[in-house]
Amino acid sequence: MLPRFSSRIRSSHLRTLSHPSFPSRRWMSVRPEEVDGVAPRKKVTIHHLQAMRRSGTPITMLTAYDYPTGRACESHGVDITLVGDSLAQVCLGYDSTTRLTLDEMLHHCRAVARASKAPFLVADMPFGTYHTGAEDTVRNAVRMVREGGVEGVKIEGGLEVADTVRRLTRMGIPVMAHVGLMPQRHTMLSGYRVQGKNAECALDVLRAAVALEDAGAFAVVVEAVPHRLGGYITRAMRRIPTIGIGAGKETDGQVLVWDDVMGTWCGDKAKFVRRFGDVKGEVARGVRSYIAAVRERSFPDTAETYGMPEIEWEAFLARAEAERGGSSS
């Protein structure tokens, strides 16, 4: 009796497990940390990123600025989440990233950090927070890690920031370098222009990337350079990955700004941007439908409202009207 009974349980158990509507493991236990119906992922580390470079696996980096965008990076498999200072423009409406303060950046980092756990989490050090000497730079980077909850900081600059990169790295703060087009310097550059288009400038960008790897950077963003230069710099790196934005297909990874990917950015579109979603269209549809439904009183309907027992309503009416001297119904 008993063996037959238990073997029947086991066979039905197996059937359940192999049923297509029960993906393996999820049925076994409910994991409270699961978000958006996706199983939790392995933590991405610097070691992992360098292994991806060695194995030729493209690294995906995407910006996030708040809890929901951070959660999307977490749920859908982004390798590196970047709280970019582009948030100044795409989230806060400033005309330049140079307007962003450290406190504003920290506020957004905290929101992203609460959601984005598995991707490696990096944030831009805002303009001016690594320019006024070693002590200030370390203090500000420590705030990014301690208060912002980020794992690494990104710094724009070439040879002139190599000492800064070395210092932070030695303190145990991983640094992502950023060469080529450096948006924090758009005024000096007279705009957002492709960098390294002539041999001399291309050499400058290459030397910067090499020096920053030597200084201990764990990765380097290469922005808006000719694609052959992006490839050359990638091959010139000894171990650290290059993450390109407008640097061609030969970099070890790619990064784009969230709003450019989703189609929510209203400003000019750089040549390197590809839109992968039409969230702006979806937002327009949602806002317009909401307004229309309110105006024609089709929202809310009964299912979207709360009821009350008839007897309580009658009692309420009687007492309310007595209290108000029967002045209204």
Ligand X SMILES: Nc1nc(=O)c2c([nH]1)NC[C@@H]1CN(c3ccc(C(=O)N[C@@H](CCC(=O)O)C(=O)O)cc3)CN21
221 near ligand KIV, judged by CB under 6 A: yes
**Is 223 known to be catalytic?**
yes
Encoded one letter per residue, x for contact with ligand KIV by CB under 6 A and - for no contact, window 94-133 reads: ------------------------------x---------
Closest by CA to 258, choosing from 77, 114, 72, 111, is 72
Q: Which of 91, 123, 194, 219 binds ligand X (CB under 6 A)?
A: 194
User: Residue 78 or residue 194: which is nearer to ligand X going by CB?
Assistant: 194
Q: Let me know: does 128 contact 99? Beta carbons within 8 Å.
A: no
Structure token pair of residue 294 = 């309110």
> By CB under 6 A, is residue 183 in contact with ligand X?
yes
Nearer residue to ligand KIV within complex by CB, 40 or 58: 58
- End-to-end, the C-alpha distance of the chain in Å comes to 72
Q: Does residue 184 bind ligand X (CB under 6 A)?
A: no
Q: C-beta of 260: minimal distance to ligand KIV in Å?
A: 9
Of the candidates 66, 74, 124, 259, which one interacts with Mg ion according to CB under 5 A?
124
Query: Which of the ranges 83-91, 99-107, 112-120, 207-215 carries the binding residues for ligand KIV, by CB under 6 A?
Result: 83-91
The beta-carbon contacts of 136-143 under 8 Å, at least 24 apart in sequence, are 137/164, 137/167, 137/168, 138/167, 138/168, 138/171, 140/102, 141/168, 141/171, 141/173, 142/171, 142/173, 143/102, 143/106
The nearer residue to ligand X, 50 or 96, going by C-beta atoms, is 96
CB neighbour list of residue 28: distance below 8 Å, 6 or more residues apart:
none
Query: Among residues 156, 223, 282, 310, which one is catalytic?
Result: 223
For residue 193, report the phi and psi dihedrals to the nearest 5 degrees.
-115, 150
Q: Which residue is nearest to ligand KIV (CB)?
A: 84
Give me the residues that bind ligand KIV (CB under 6 A), please: 63, 82, 84-86, 124, 221, 245, 255, 257
Which residues are designated catalytic? Answer: 223
